[in-house]
């Protein structure tokens, strides 16, 4: 199977590290012209763009807080000026917030998680669909989490935001399908990134985590990037309005493997 995204114009939010970096590099390797959104560490975003350009691809970086409507609108104006529109959007930017039980949560901090993860995904999808619907083509992929399905004590805002992203995706897919635009979600499980290094670098916590993953290993950022590239391609042209779980079967309730 030869997957190509040659000439497609792609935006990945939160793309200067971790899953976002792997996704933007994967899209570029498949031939897409990419936009690297970031809100901090511009040097990391610049290096990714330089690497892609050195490899013969096309990339540029844009600073924008996805929870700010004005900044999102300005980002898309820059994309229009540079690429003349957009074909692919990967909503990856997000935070998990501080661990706290719901009755002790700071309402301002709780809302900030919702604003970035859910409202930010909406704002970017809104701008993308304004461009994709008239051109009758495009793909939006929300990077959600297994926690759109699995509750996570201490992270009520995060779980609520990811559950919300799933229903946002389904609604946008229903609206956009008659216009030839696909909208999906990809839900990663436990993926090895710098943000969770404290877990996978500790043998005790890693062993506990692996009991929750039937495949017996953490995911790599390449596992997510490869699936995003496929979902954005013509090979997945009949896939929309659904979540694809890339989680080593974490959502398969491994606790029941030995009986109820």
Interval 155-176: pLDDT, tens: 999 999 999 999 999 999 999 9
Q: What is the pLDDT of residue 257?
A: 85
**pLDDT confidence of 237, banded at 50, 70, 90?**
very high
Predicted confidence at residue 222, as pLDDT, reads 98
**Residue reference for tokens 């929309």:** 240
Average pLDDT of span 116-142: 98
Q: What is the pLDDT of residue 62?
A: 98
Q: How many other CB atoms sit within 10 Å of the CB of residue 174?
A: 12
pLDDT of 53 > 90? The answer is yes
Instruction: Render pLDDT for 241-257 as a digit per residue (tens, 0 to 9).
Output: 999 999 999 999 888 88
Tokens of 244: 């694809």
Does the pLDDT of residue 2 top 90, yes or no?
A: no
Would you say residue 149 has pLDDT above 70?
yes
% of the chain surpassing 90 pLDDT: 92
Q: Class of the 9-245 domain?
A: alpha beta
Q: Please determine, for residue 119, whether its predicted confidence score (pLDDT) is greater than 90.
A: yes
**Active-site residue among 83, 155, 158, 245?**
158
User: Minimum mean pLDDT among 91-95, 198-202, 223-227: which range?
Assistant: 198-202
Please, where are the H alpha helices in 101-153?
107-114, 120-135
Alpha-carbon span 108 to 116, nearest angstrom: 12
Query: Per this entry, what is the length of the chain?
Result: 260
Q: For tokens 């030995």, name the residue.
A: 258
pLDDT at 49 over 70: yes
Checking if the pLDDT of 195 tops 90, the result is no
For 58-85, write each residue's pLDDT tens digit: 999 999 999 999 999 999 999 999 999 9
Is residue 55 over pLDDT 80? Answer: yes
pLDDT of residue 260: 65
- Does 158 qualify as catalytic in the annotation? yes
Give kind and range of the element (H or E) at residue 62.
Answer: strand 59-63
Q: Does residue 259 surpass a pLDDT of 80?
A: no
Read off the pLDDT of each residue in 117-124 and give the average, rounded to a whole number: 98
Q: What is the DSSP letter of 107?
A: H
- pLDDT mean across residues, the chain: 96
CB atoms within 10 A of CB 99: 11
The mean per-residue pLDDT over the stretch 43-54 comes to 98
pLDDT tier at 146 (50, 70, 90 boundaries)? Answer: very high
Residue ranges per structural domain of the chain: 9-245
């Amino acid at each position: 199977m030869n997957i190509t995204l040659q000439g497609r114009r792609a935006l990945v939010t939160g793309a200067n590290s971790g899953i976002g970096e792997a996704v933007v590099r994967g899209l570029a390797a498949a031939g897409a012209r990419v936009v690297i959104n970031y809100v901090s560490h511009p040097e990391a975003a610049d290096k990714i763009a330089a690497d892609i350009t050195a490899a013969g691809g096309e990339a540029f970086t844009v600073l924008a807080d996805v929870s700010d409507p004005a900044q999102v609108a300005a980002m898309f104006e820059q994309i229009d000026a540079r690429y003349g529109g957009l074909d692919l959007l990967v909503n990856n930017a997000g935070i998990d917030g501080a661990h706290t039980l719901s009755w002790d949560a700071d309402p301002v901090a709780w809302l900030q998680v919702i604003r970035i993860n859910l409202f930010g995904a909406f704002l970017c999808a809104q701008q993308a669909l304004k461009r994709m619907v008239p051109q009758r083509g495009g793909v939006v992929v929300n990077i959600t989490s297994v926690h759109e399905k699995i509750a996570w004590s201490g992270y009520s805002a995060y779980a609520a935001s990811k559950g919300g992203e799933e229903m946002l995706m389904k609604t946008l897919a229903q609206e956009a399908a008659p216009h030839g635009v696909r909208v999906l979600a990809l839900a990663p499980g436990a993926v090895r990134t710098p943000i969770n290094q404290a877990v996978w670098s500790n043998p005790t916590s890693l062993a506990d985590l692996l009991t929750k993953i039937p495949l017996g290993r953490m995911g790599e950022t390449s596992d997510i990037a490869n699936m995003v590239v496929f979902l954005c391609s013509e090979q997945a042209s009949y896939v929309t309005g659904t979540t694809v779980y890339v989680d080593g079967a974490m959502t398969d309730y491994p606790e029941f493997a030995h009986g109820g």
